[in-house]
């Protein structure tokens, strides 16, 4: 039984306020307890939300960690431009490591240039973690994205091979996070675990965040392969018999250009995207990530290998 | 969805046989939170397994390992929203060996749904789930009597189960219990009311989830602010800025309020409440803010600010707690562990193991060692004092985790009382 009479003051605290406060709390725990953290920043919408949350957690001070991007060299140029602009505007340090570096070293061998590079991203990420000795990497993954993520902790421990063991995760209770790792081990931290795609868009609207323009409806040359709409780029050219058409599309996620499909949409403002997200009948990754469609467990397998 | 939409976290406790996965599937399906690609994936799987209808329970299957074995092995978090609220479901398996999963999910929940099968009534596991909900001080409990279609939607049967449950629940410290008859399979009284339970006049499950009052699920009385991180920009612009960043874990604070810094006991007043969006006059739990103070006092992470006028927390090096052991390696009384409580960590020893609670019968047994899933009353000695409240006063300042420094694993969760 509660012994004290309850204070009847009412404060409005919306779901976005609750999520924001939780994320700030998580980021500050990392800053306070981890020796050498980094924030993984790609220029995509989720990582742009992460930057705003970091500003809320640490200003007026600088971020207590650098921004790190693992560049597949298969990124949309608009996203890379946004990445560089945001890092410069914030005056924060941006470290970019490219799959090309790993290819030159021989730790990645590319068999087919036109194939997605996501499977190789883990290699460069792990090499970058080792190069800088990061003990914690903050990432913008969300649990609503995928079945394997739904079971992942906010502080997700990785062994010295960068591997995730889903059956052997540390229990995570209240908001009391165990941040301890041995030398050479690593924690991935997901402050926006509990956000959904809709929350992200509502927050982008509320905070008036600058995001790459390819998230909004635009005309683009595409090819249709099976059920997928694929953007034409220097990496993806029509095969004999395929027809290039101009469609009005937008991207729900911005990943590797060879496997990120746009959705047909005329939503050109954040409000229109929120409305569209509320009524869409296909999940975010299901609509846009061909690499997740290959098997029921593709994300789980990639995560076990050290992918985010 | 408006910005005034609140967030409610709830857990579902029950076994596959009680229709738990079907209930979650039904909530998601009828609130239109299932996507076509998810639906087509489970349709394919249902067909492959030779089922006649689409098995909604497959929606909550997560990992490959689980799909192979047809079981749920860990807590999974799921999300859905209605125009009134956003929901986070902590989905926990009902098997006995997974007490730790339910404890984990319950630790952050506003509400627990305890699922029973109308044919079987209140079983041992329902009692166990209710005990754990009360132990973790989950503010609201719903007894969902499922499979009402299997007992011909009988009001008499429902009343019988409710009476039995209430008799049992009286032994527990449950605050706000609601009982709902439903059929997850047919969708009666889950999202829609259906046509079979007209005798029941209370809210359907989703209606209750949307309306249950949660403003006071956090402690709104006693200001508690564990210092998380000291903000010292040391730039020309903010040369003298020294802010204390953290999350308010109880009550509220205004500029000018006198605060006491614990454990030192020094007092000062709040000069500013700083946020990225501008300074505030008042802030409240669970906001994350940065406080500046009128006096220069040596303060670091792990210190706690409390309002001098409020009910004072305890500052002690020894305390009693109820512990849930989470690790496969049993507790070793001869060893030192690490306690993490709010933002403070300290080495600790278990000075006494008083008794173990049988979660099925609530009986107390003598105890020599603690194994995984054991719940026990213990006394703990810490190397440096902790600033704490009783768990039933404040979940954040009354709880802690225990870490094994040899493995760095989280081995136990504790509630101070």
What domains are defined for chain B?
A: 6-211 (3.40.50.300), 224-307 (2.40.30.10), 314-416 (2.40.30.10)
What pLDDT was estimated at residue B69?
A: 54
Cβ atoms of B351 and B376 closer than 8 Å: no
Decide which of A248 and B47 is more confident.
A248
Q: Look at residues A250, A279, A240, A212 and name the one whose alpha carbon lies nearest to residue A76.
A: A212
Sign of CA dihedral A106, A44, A158, A291: negative
Q: What would the pLDDT profile of B314-364 be if each residue is shown by its tens digit? A: 999 999 999 999 998 999 999 999 999 999 999 999 999 999 998 888 899
Decide which of A250 and B54 is more confident.
A250
In a domain, A6, yes or no: no
Rounded to a whole number of angstroms, the distance from the CA of B63 to the nearest CA of chain A is 6
- Top residue of A6, A145, A147, A152 to mutate, by most chain B CBs within 10 Å, is A147
What pLDDT was estimated at residue A296?
A: 47
- Whether the predicted pLDDT of B28 surpasses 90: no
Chain B residues near residue A155 by CB distance under 8 angstroms: none
Which residue among A13, A28, A173 sits closest to B228, beta carbon to beta carbon? A28
A182 and B CB contact within 8 Å: yes
Closest residue on chain B to A296 (Cα): B64
In a domain, A5, yes or no: no
In a domain, A250, yes or no: yes
In a domain, A273, yes or no: yes
What pLDDT was estimated at residue A234?
A: 85
Q: What would the pLDDT profile of B57-69 be if each residue is shown by its tens digit? A: 666 655 555 555 5
CA distance B32 to B34: 6
Q: How far is CA B304 from the centre of its chain?
A: 23
B413 and A CB contact within 8 Å: yes
- Per-residue confidence band for A1, with pLDDT thresholds at 50, 70 and 90: very low
In a domain, A78, yes or no: yes
CA distance B184 to B12: 13
Q: Does the distance separating the beta carbons of A167 and B73 come in below 8 Å?
A: yes
Residue labelled with tokens 């095969």: A239
Q: Do A143 and A85 share a structural domain? A: yes
A297 and B CB contact within 8 Å: yes
- Per-residue confidence band for A3, with pLDDT thresholds at 50, 70 and 90: very low
Which residue among A7, A10, A32 sits closest to B228, beta carbon to beta carbon? A32
B76 and A CB contact within 8 Å: yes
What pLDDT was estimated at residue A73?
A: 86
In a domain, A182, yes or no: yes
- Whether the predicted pLDDT of B106 surpasses 90: yes
CA distance A137 to A302: 17
Q: Look at residues B110, B140, B143, B150 and name the one whose alpha carbon lies nearest to residue B14.
A: B143
Q: Do A87 and A66 share a structural domain? A: yes
Q: Do A243 and A134 share a structural domain? A: no
B221 and A CB contact within 8 Å: yes
What pLDDT was estimated at residue B119?
A: 95
CA distance B299 to A83: 37
Q: Do A185 and A86 share a structural domain? A: yes
What pLDDT was estimated at residue A2?
A: 37
Closest residue on chain B to A147 (Cα): B62
Q: Do A38 and A117 share a structural domain? A: yes
Which residue among B35, B74, B288 sits closest to A286, beta carbon to beta carbon? B35
Chain A residues near residue B410 by CB distance under 8 angstroms: 170-173, 178
A18 and B CB contact within 8 Å: yes
Q: Do A225 and A118 share a structural domain? A: no
CA distance A229 to A239: 14
User: Domain range holding A114?
Assistant: 15-198+298-304
Q: Do A247 and A113 share a structural domain? A: no
- Whether the predicted pLDDT of A308 surpasses 80: no
- Whether the predicted pLDDT of A173 surpasses 50: yes
* Average pLDDT, integer, range B109-127: 92
What pLDDT was estimated at residue B254?
A: 97
- Whether the predicted pLDDT of B56 surpasses 70: no
Q: What would the pLDDT profile of A41-92 be if each residue is shown by its tens digit? A: 999 999 999 999 999 999 999 999 999 999 988 889 999 999 999 999 999 9
- Of the listed ranges B45-49, B197-201, B373-377, the one predicted with least confidence: B45-49
List, as ranges, residues 114-173 from A with C-beta within 8 Å of B. Answer: 143-144, 147-148, 150-151, 166-167, 169-173
Q: Mean pLDDT across chain A, nearest whole number?
A: 86
- Whether the predicted pLDDT of A153 surpasses 60: yes
Phi and psi of B114, rounded to 5°? -100, 115
Instruction: Please state, for a pLDDT cut of 70, what percent of chain A lies above it.
Output: 87
The sheet with strand B140-146 has its strands ordered as B76-81, B85-91, B6-13, B111-117, B140-146, B177-181
A19 and B CB contact within 8 Å: yes
In a domain, A4, yes or no: no
- Whether the predicted pLDDT of A127 surpasses 80: yes
* Average pLDDT, integer, range A241-266: 89
pTM of the model: 0.91
SS3 B243: strand
**Per the structure, how many domains does chain A have?**
2
- Per-residue confidence band for B95, with pLDDT thresholds at 50, 70 and 90: low
Chain B residues near residue A62 by CB distance under 8 angstroms: 233, 235
List, as ranges, residues 55-94 from A with C-beta within 8 Å of B. Answer: 55-62
Q: Do A178 and A145 share a structural domain? A: yes
What pLDDT was estimated at residue B312?
A: 93
B71 and A CB contact within 8 Å: no
Q: Do A43 and A164 share a structural domain? A: yes
Q: What would the pLDDT profile of A237-249 be if each residue is shown by its tens digit? A: 888 888 999 999 9
Partnered with residue B305 across adjacent β-strands are B225, B261
Residue labelled with tokens 């499922």: B146
Chain B residues near residue A146 by CB distance under 8 angstroms: none
Q: What is the DSSP letter of B188?
A: B
Q: Does the distance separating the beta carbons of B104 and A25 come in below 8 Å?
A: no
- Whether the predicted pLDDT of A5 surpasses 50: no
* Average pLDDT, integer, range B179-191: 94
- Of the listed ranges A23-27, B40-44, B181-185, B252-256, the one predicted with least confidence: B40-44
Which residue among A171, A178, A286 sits closest to B37, beta carbon to beta carbon? A286
* Average pLDDT, integer, range A214-222: 93
Which residue among B1, B37, B235 sits closest to A282, beta carbon to beta carbon? B37
Chain A residues near residue B276 by CB distance under 8 angstroms: 55-56, 59
Q: Do A189 and A269 share a structural domain? A: no
Instruction: Please state, for a pLDDT cut of 90, what percent of chain A lies above it.
Output: 53
CATH number of the domain encompassing residue A22 = 3.40.50.620
* Average pLDDT, integer, range B215-238: 91
- Of the listed ranges A193-207, A281-295, B172-186, the one predicted with least confidence: A281-295
Rounded to a whole number of angstroms, the distance from the CA of B6 to the nearest CA of chain A is 5
B209 and A CB contact within 8 Å: no
- Of the listed ranges A263-272, B66-75, B239-248, the one predicted with least confidence: B66-75
What pLDDT was estimated at residue B2?
A: 43
Q: Do A49 and A157 share a structural domain? A: yes
Residue labelled with tokens 């397998």: A301
Q: Do A182 and A47 share a structural domain? A: yes
Q: Which long-range contacts (CB under 8 A, 24 or more apart) does B69-77 make?
A: B71/B16, B71/B95, B72/B16, B72/B21, B73/A167, B73/B98, B74/A151, B74/A166, B74/A167, B74/A169, B74/B101, B75/A151, B75/B101, B75/B104, B75/B105, B76/A150, B76/A151, B77/A143, B77/A150, B77/A151, B77/A193, B77/A194
Rounded to a whole number of angstroms, the distance from the CA of B49 to the nearest CA of chain A is 15
A28 and B CB contact within 8 Å: yes
């Amino acid at each position: 039984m509660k012994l004290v009479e309850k204070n009847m003051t009412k404060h409005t605290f919306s779901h976005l306020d609750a999520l924001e406060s939780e994320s700030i709390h998580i980021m500050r725990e990392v800053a306070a307890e981890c020796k050498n953290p980094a924030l993984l920043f790609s220029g995509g919408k989720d990582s742009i939300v992460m930057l705003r949350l970091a500003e809320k957690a640490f200003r007026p001070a600088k971020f207590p960690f650098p921004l790190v991007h693992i560049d597949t060299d298969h990124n949309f140029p608009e996203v890379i431009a946004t990445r560089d602009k945001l890092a410069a505007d914030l005056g924060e340090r941006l470290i970019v490591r490219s799959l090309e570096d790993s290819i030159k070293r021989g730790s990645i061998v590319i068999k087919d240039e036109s194939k997605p590079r996501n499977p190789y991203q883990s290699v460069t990420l792990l090499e970058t973690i080792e190069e800088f000795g990061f003990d914690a990497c903050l990432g913008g993954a969300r649990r609503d994205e995928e079945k394997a993520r739904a079971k992942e902790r906010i502080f997700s421990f990785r062994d010295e091979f960068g591997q995730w063991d889903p059956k052997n995760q540390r229990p995570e209770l209240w908001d009391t996070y165990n941040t301890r790792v041995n030398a050479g081990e690593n924690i991935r931290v997901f402050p926006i675990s509990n956000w959904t795609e809709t929350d992200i868009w509502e927050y982008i609207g509320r905070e008036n965040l600058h995001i790459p323009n390819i998230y909004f409806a635009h005309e683009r040359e595409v090819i249709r392969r099976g059920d997928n709409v694929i953007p034409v780029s220097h990496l993806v050219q029509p095969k004999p018999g395929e027809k290039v058409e101009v469609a009005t599309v937008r991207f729900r996620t911005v990943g590797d250009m060879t496997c990120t499909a746009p959705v047909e949409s005329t939503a050109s403002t954040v409000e229109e995207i929120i409305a569209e997200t509320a009524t869409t009948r296909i999940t975010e990754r299901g609509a846009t990530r061909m690499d997740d469609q290959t098997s029921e467990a593709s994300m789980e397998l990639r995560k076990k290998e050290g992918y985010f | 969805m408006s910005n005034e939409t609140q967030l409610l976290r709830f857990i579902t406790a029950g076994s596959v046989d009680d229709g738990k996965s079907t209930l979650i599937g039904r909530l998601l399906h009828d609130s239109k939170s299932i996507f076509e690609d998810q639906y087509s994936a489970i349709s394919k799987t249902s067909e492959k397994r030779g089922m006649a209808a689409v098995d909604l329970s497959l929606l909550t299957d997560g990992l490959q390992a689980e799909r192979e074995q047809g079981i749920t092995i860990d807590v999974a978090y799921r999300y859905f929203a209605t125009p009134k609220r956003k929901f986070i479901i902590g989905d926990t398996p009902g098997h006995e060996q997974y007490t730790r999963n339910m404890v984990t999910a319950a630790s952050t929940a506003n509400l627990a749904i305890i699922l029973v099968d109308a044919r079987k009534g209140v079983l041992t596991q329902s009692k166990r789930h209710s005990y754990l909900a009360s132990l973790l001080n989950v503010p609201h409990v719903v007894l969902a009597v499922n499979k009402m279609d299997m007992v011909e939607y009988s009001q008499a049967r429902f009343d019988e189960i409710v009476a039995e449950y209430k008799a049992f629940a009286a032994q527990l410290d449950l605050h706000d219990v609601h009982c709902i008859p439903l059929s997850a399979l047919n969708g009666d009284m889950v999202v829609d009311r259906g046509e079979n339970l007209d005798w029941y006049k209370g809210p359907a499950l989703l209606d209750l989830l949307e309306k249950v009052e949660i403003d006071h699920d956090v402690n709104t009385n006693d200001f508690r602010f564990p210092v998380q991180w000291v903000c010292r920009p040391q730039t020309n612009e903010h040369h003298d800025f020294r802010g204390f960043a953290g999350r308010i874990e109880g009550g509220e604070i205004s500029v000018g309020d006198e605060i006491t810094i614990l454990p030192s006991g020094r007092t000062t007043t709040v000069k500013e409440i700083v946020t990225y969006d501008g300074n505030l006059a008042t802030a409240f739990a669970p906001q994350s803010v940065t406080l500046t103070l009128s006096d220069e006092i040596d303060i670091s992470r792990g210190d706690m600010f409390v309002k001098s006028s409020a009910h004072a927390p305890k500052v002690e090096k020894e305390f009693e707690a109820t512990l849930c052991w989470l690790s496969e390696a049993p507790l070793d009384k001869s060893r030192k562990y690490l306690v993490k409580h709010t933002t403070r960590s300290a080495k600790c020893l278990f000075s006494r193991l008083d008794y173990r609670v049988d979660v099925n019968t609530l009986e107390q047994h003598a105890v020599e060692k603690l194994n995984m899933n054991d719940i026990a009353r213990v006394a703990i000695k810490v190397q440096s004092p902790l600033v704490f409240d009783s768990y039933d006063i404040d979940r954040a300042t009354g709880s802690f985790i225990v870490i094994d420094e040899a493995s760095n694993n989280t081995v136990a969760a504790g509630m101070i009382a």
